[in-house]
Amino acid sequence: MSDPKENAGLARALGRVPSGLFIVTVRAGDRTNAFLASWVQQASFDPPTVTIAIKDGRPASELLNDGAACAVNVIPKDDGGGLMKHFGKGFGPEEDPFDGMETVQGTTGVELLPSALGALECKIRGSVAAGDHHVFVGEVVDGRSFTDEGESAVHLRKSGFHY
């Protein structure tokens, strides 16, 4: 059997699976981090639950243990590169990801980004290894909309084998 990554048709088809664009903010005690995420999906209605995939080795993944607070901030289609540019570069464990960014504190204590369309505050309830990523399950415990207008950013990749 050939290596699937050598199949250009498969790479294109997998890359065409649409995903949203989000900034996931994380707080565990006094430690914070944030990352640009495209693999976030609602997974349950009752209780409302989302899944969040993060590449192994990212500093934020160390904070996403059971019970940790995080927020999924929905990037607007007309972001103009503000949120994506700032958070897309990634942050080390000692860097302040919110330096220069407007934030408000959510009910769980996690930072929310008012320039997003809205935010879902979650408590992590578990995770599972999934290849080179971990998928975290977050129960949505609060949320807010920052605007009544705007559409969510959607992302399509040229290849389903890399960002």
Determine, yes or no, domain membership for 129. Answer: yes
To 5 degrees, how large is the angle CA 57–CA 143–CA 111? 50
Residue 107 covered by a domain? yes
141-152 pLDDT per residue, tens: 999 999 999 999
Enclosing domain of residue 48: 21-146
Task: Enter the pTM of the model.
Answer: 0.93
Residue 25 inside a domain? The answer is yes
User: Is position 152 within any domain?
Assistant: no
Q: For residue 113, which of 14, 48, 21, 45 has the smallest C-alpha distance?
A: 21
| Cross-strand bridge partners of residue 70 | 26, 122
CB 117 within 8 A of CB 83: no
Q: How many domains are contained in the chain?
A: 1
The CATH number linked to 90 is 2.30.110.10
What pLDDT shows up at residue 1? 52
* Residue 63 resides in a domain: yes
56 within some domain:
yes
At 66 the pLDDT is 79
For residue 3, tell me if it sits in a domain. no
Flag residues of the chain having pLDDT under 50: none
Q: Are 122 and 64 in contact (CB under 8 A)?
A: no
**Cis amide prior to 48 (ω within 30 degrees):** no
DSSP 104: E
Percent of the chain with pLDDT over 90: 75
Backbone angles phi, psi at 82, to 5 degrees: -60, -60
Angle at the Cα of 65 (from 60 to 68), degrees rounded to 5? 85
Domain assignment present for residue 16? The answer is no
